[in-house]
Amino acid sequence: MMDRIFLDKLKSNFSEALRVIAINKVRTFLTALGIIFGVAAVITMLAIGNGAEKEILAQLELVGVNNIVITPIPDEEDEGADDEDENASAGAMETKRFSKGLDMLDVISIENHIPTVKKTSPEIILDTYVINRGKQNNVKLIGITNDFFETANIHLGRGSKFSDQQLIGAMPVCIIGEKVEKKLFTGESALGKQIKVKDVWLKVIGIIEEKLISETAQENLGIRDLNQDVYVPIKTFLVRYKDRKIITDKAIDYNQIIGQRQGGPQKRIPRGNYHQIDRLTVQVNNSSELKATAEVISKMLKRKHNDVLDFEISIPINLLKQQQKTKQIFNIVLSIIAGISLLIGGIGIMNIMLASVLERTKEIGIIRAIGATREDVIWQFLSESILISLGGGIIGVVLGIIASFSLERLTGIETILTTGSILLSFFVATLVGLVFGVFPARSAANKRPIEAIRQE
């Protein structure tokens, strides 16, 4: 019985609140604007944050776990520096220490002498073309070992990895990405088929499972689109394609010191890319060992390269963590701004409800005189503030969803809407209406009936 009476009172209060809101449509809408924009901002910020988190996790998967990446620095001539040297001391010979470059011997040394290293994955990269049935497509030919698939977190969709015999014997076999298969073998499987990469026929023994790699990840982390590459055993690459360690007449010329005619200043011609491998990924046992291992590798390579710093060492996971921290700070700042919008919306509700209390003082006195209790008056005004917040919350949710989809389409920033973020925003909007409606409601309930009736 008591529950029914309470429900009837609640229904009556909300009906009266709807009537008052309907009479003051424009004022109510303007009051709810703070809630609307606040809720929309919260939903959009949470969607951006969820998208950023997903992107970070995806990039972590791409770079692999506990990896250190070593990339060589080719010997390129700095024209500006040469001009300065020539002007400063004409006839002086530019000197530079000789480095053998990043090669397979470095890989073996790292594997054998650093106990924290779990796996090493050298890569040699060649921009070339592939031909099949008269179709020619540009591809990257990558010389690898089987450890590449684990360090890069790549899985084979079909076929098999390279066997020991294929790796050691430099056999003409390859593993290709799905995009290469679709371009060369439309509608059929490439397994067991032959493709011609540059001047060498290769047998396809495996197809890499397609992996989505965003342009952002490719740019920030230096990751290739692995679905468009052709992979061969690293020994196959060195024997059948190119080995920069093999000394040629051109390589000897690069290392000579030549003088200009007529007694001009002597000058060293740069060697170009003299490194045998183009990238080396080192996987350590534990993430806590990343920094120490990178330092040891740096000292070892510098000593082996005759104190020439012709390589660069990076830890992708650290770069991602820094990027994640930056995005988190950005999201926190934007969330604070969205929270301020909700706070302003709440203050607006309180302000309009206080004005409503002053306008309806006589009405409050009358209903108190005919038997309404203080609780009835409180619930009546709370009903109005809650309804304003709910209405603003609903509009804000719709606006937030539209803003999230529009932002993703217009800017390319991935946004992820979740039911939890929508419900949270809606709950916060309702809570704001309840909290900021309490003071005006109590102010109305505390008025004495006789004084309220007398007030014009």
Per-residue pLDDT reduced to its tens digit, 259-295: 444 445 555 566 678 899 999 999 988 878 888 999 9
Report pLDDT digits (tens) over 142-197.
999 999 988 888 888 889 999 999 999 999 999 998 888 888 888 888 899 999 99
Q: In this predicted structure, what is the pLDDT of residue 422?
A: 83
Helix (H) or strand (E) holding 158: strand 156-159
Parse the chain into domains and list their residue ranges: 2-58+322-454, 66-314
Q: Taking a C-beta distance cutoff of 8 angstroms, is the pair 276, 243 a contact?
A: yes
Tell whether the model's pLDDT for residue 6 goes beyond 80. no
CA-nearest of 69, 78, 232 to 142 is 232
Structure tokens at 430: 């309702």
Residue 44, CA distances (Å) to 57, 233, 329, 433 in order = 20, 47, 16, 21
Mean pLDDT along residues 428-437: 77
Q: How far apart are CA 241 and CA 175, in angstroms?
A: 16
Helix (H) or strand (E) holding 430: helix 419-445
* DSSP β-bridge partners for residue 194: 203
Q: Taking a C-beta distance cutoff of 8 angstroms, is the pair 364, 357 a contact?
A: yes
CA-nearest of 43, 107, 24 to 331 is 43
CA-nearest of 232, 230, 180, 213 to 63 is 213
Query: Which of residues 351 and 401 earns the better pLDDT score?
Result: 401
Q: In this predicted structure, what is the pLDDT of residue 108?
A: 93
Q: In this predicted structure, what is the pLDDT of residue 336?
A: 78
Residues of the chain with pLDDT > 70, as a percent, come to 75
Structure tokens at 305: 């390269």
Mean pLDDT along residues 398-410: 88
Report pLDDT digits (tens) over 416-432.
888 887 888 778 877 87
CA-nearest of 12, 121, 44 to 400 is 44
102: left (phi over 0), alpha (psi -120 to 50) or beta: beta
Contacts of 325 (CB under 8 A, 6+ apart): none
- 336-338-340-344 Cα dihedral, nearest 10 degrees: -170
Tell whether the model's pLDDT for residue 239 goes beyond 80. yes
Q: How far apart are CA 424 and CA 181, in angstroms?
A: 46
Query: Which of residues 188 and 319 earns the better pLDDT score?
Result: 188
Report pLDDT digits (tens) over 77-93.
544 444 444 444 444 44
Q: In this predicted structure, what is the pLDDT of residue 384?
A: 79
Mean pLDDT along residues 210-222: 61
Q: In this predicted structure, what is the pLDDT of residue 261?
A: 45
Backbone angles phi, psi at 175, to 5 degrees: -120, 135
Mean pLDDT along residues 320-331: 70
Query: Which of residues 43 and 14 earns the better pLDDT score?
Result: 43
CA-nearest of 179, 208, 204, 200 to 190 is 204
Q: What SS3 class is residue 132? A: strand
Tell whether the model's pLDDT for residue 385 goes beyond 70. yes
Q: What SS3 class is residue 282? A: strand
Only one residue has tokens 């740096």, namely 298
Contacts of 253 (CB under 8 A, 6+ apart): 269
Q: Each residue of 294-328: b (16+ CB within 10 Å) or e?
A: bebbbeebeebbeebebbebbbbbeebeebbeebe
Residue 192: what residue type? G
Residues of the chain with pLDDT > 90, as a percent, come to 21
Q: In this predicted structure, what is the pLDDT of residue 340?
A: 79
Q: In this predicted structure, what is the pLDDT of residue 257?
A: 45
